[in-house]
Chain A
């Protein structure tokens, strides 16, 4: 019999194992596309290790290729990662009691997959001890992080080997559409996406990518407003 802490760690590994199917191709693709954009293998790896957030890496890469100004690139990519404020808020009651060094390390590994798996677990078993919760969290990271880095490296090496004529300019749009499509299942999400597209196209005359940022703000507000309106209707 395993003691509770290794058991919680293993439970974490199992809970995030299904995400491997998403993480590996995504990281591979990032490696390939980033190499095609002129980054060398070390630069691709530094990118994946320091930022460690796929969607914002693809977005930053695309905007860098479009020669957008640095401030706009940072604002757009960071805005994509703002959802992680929610993750941080949701994890604080469960993991906030850990030592500062441990929290600092967990913050680095707070990604979509570790958050999703941990949020489900802590809701299902809220009365575990703190060490068990911490062990579970690190368990969710164990299959994901090494594969993210490894597949980025593999993608970068493949990218250096293949020719430039594979219409890879379109890999990023396809990836983003694929990430968004499954979210378009509720009216507020559909409204937000619609406003985002309409706004970005009509405001594309604005300089330095500011049109996209403005469209994103409008889209977020539209999504939230739509959610409020739906709730009011339900109450009535």
Chain B
């Protein structure tokens, strides 16, 4: 789907500003103050807590098929995950997942 222009012009400047303030926080203003250990611990899991949940519905119920589970997309997701876990290579996982997706879409 196409991104709405008004949404773009609100999201991008605010996301840029917010991300900058996150980076600036301790280096720029708060200085040499340690974070509470509980917070450091929770922050370690931000990426792994958000990204899998963000893609799970798109993997199981893709919008292009109207929400019906699609074998090539599901297989591509599983291959990406498996290659990523086994090889620890982000690029290798992307290439393997992409190859799986296009091979299956082309065959089926």
A residues apposed to B, CB below 8 Å = 21-22, 25, 29, 37-39, 43, 46-47, 50-53, 55-56, 59-62, 64-67, 70, 73-74, 76-89, 91-93, 95-96, 100, 103-104, 106-108, 110, 167, 169-185, 188-189, 192-193, 195-197, 199-201, 204, 212, 215-217, 219-221, 223-224, 227-228
Contact = CB atoms under 8 A, between A and B. Distances in A.
Of the candidates A51, A80, A93, A228, the one having the most CB atoms from chain B within 10 angstroms of its own CB is A51
Of the candidates B52, B62, B81, B88, the one having the most CB atoms from chain A within 10 angstroms of its own CB is B52
A196 B10 CA distance: 27
Given A53-B19, A74-B18, A81-B22, A182 B62 contact: no
Contact of A227 (B41, B56, B77, B94): B41
A154 to B, nearest CB: 17
A107 to B, nearest CB: 4
A180 B48 contact: yes
Contacts of A176: 51-52, 54-55
A98 to B, nearest CB: 9
Contacts of A95: 27
Contact of B50 (A21, A59, A70, A175): A59
Contacts of B42: 220-221, 223-224
B55 A173 contact: yes
Contact of B55 (A67, A79, A177, A227): A177
B94 A174 contact: yes
A50 B55 contact: no
A224 B7 CA distance: 34
Contacts of A173: 55, 58-59, 73, 77
A181 B19 contact: no
B54 A76 contact: yes
A170 B10 CA distance: 25
B86 to A, nearest CB: 9
Contact of A200 (B13, B38, B54): B54
A66 B64 CA distance: 12
A38 B3 contact: yes
7 contacts: A51-B15, A92-B32, A92-B33, A169-B58, A182-B88, A189-B48, A204-B57
Interface string B74-93: 00110011111100111101
A170 B27 contact: no
A181 B3 contact: no
B4 A67 contact: yes
